[in-house]
């Protein structure tokens, strides 16, 4: 399960909720680890525990020791990699264009007349 707003995507893993921020630091950490956002997106679609944990750690700005990283992987495994992957894909896609508005936000702006919709 996830929720995206302008500032973060929340990813629920077991009893923990991780807030993945749309920051340059997160982008750079992901790029350094995977060689870019596109390769990261391709890797996360392979349903890898290691990749999912790496994206969560980068987005949530976590500095994890090896045992803590393994514990995060275990949490992801227990919660279900299939449940965790969709919000990570959503997060990576949003990082490609963090200033863009969602269709819901564009519709709300159009209803309120408070801005021009971006194409």
Q: Taking the model in full, what pTM does it have?
A: 0.78
- Whether 94 is covered by a domain: the verdict is yes
- Domain with 81, as residue range(s), is 2-112
Residue 117 falls inside a structural domain: no
Could you tell me if residue 118 is inside a domain? no
Put residue 100 in one of left, alpha, beta given phi > 0 → left and psi -120 to 50 → alpha: beta
Is the pLDDT assigned to residue 106 strictly greater than 70?
no
Write the pLDDT tens digit of every residue in 70-92.
999 999 999 999 999 999 999 99
Max Cα–Cα distance, the chain, nearest Å: 51
Residue 2: what pLDDT?
A: 47
Give the pLDDT score at 82. Answer: 94
Confidence at 65, pLDDT banded by 50, 70, 90: very high
Report the number of distinct structural domains present in the chain: 1
């Amino acid at each position: 399960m996830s929720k995206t707003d302008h500032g973060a995507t929340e990813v629920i893993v077991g009893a923990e909720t991780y807030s993945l921020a749309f920051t340059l630091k997160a982008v750079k950490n992901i790029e350094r680890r995977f060689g870019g956002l596109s390769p990261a997106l391709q890797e996360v679609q392979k349903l890898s525990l290691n990749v999912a944990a790496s994206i969560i750690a980068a987005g949530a700005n976590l500095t994890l020791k090896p045992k803590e990283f393994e514990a995060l992987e275990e949490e992801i495994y227990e919660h279900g990699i299939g449940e965790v992957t969709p919000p990570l894909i959503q997060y990576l896609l949003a990082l490609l264009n963090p200033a863009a508005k969602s269709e819901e936000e564009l519709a709300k702006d159009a209803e309120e007349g408070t801005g021009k919709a971006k194409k």
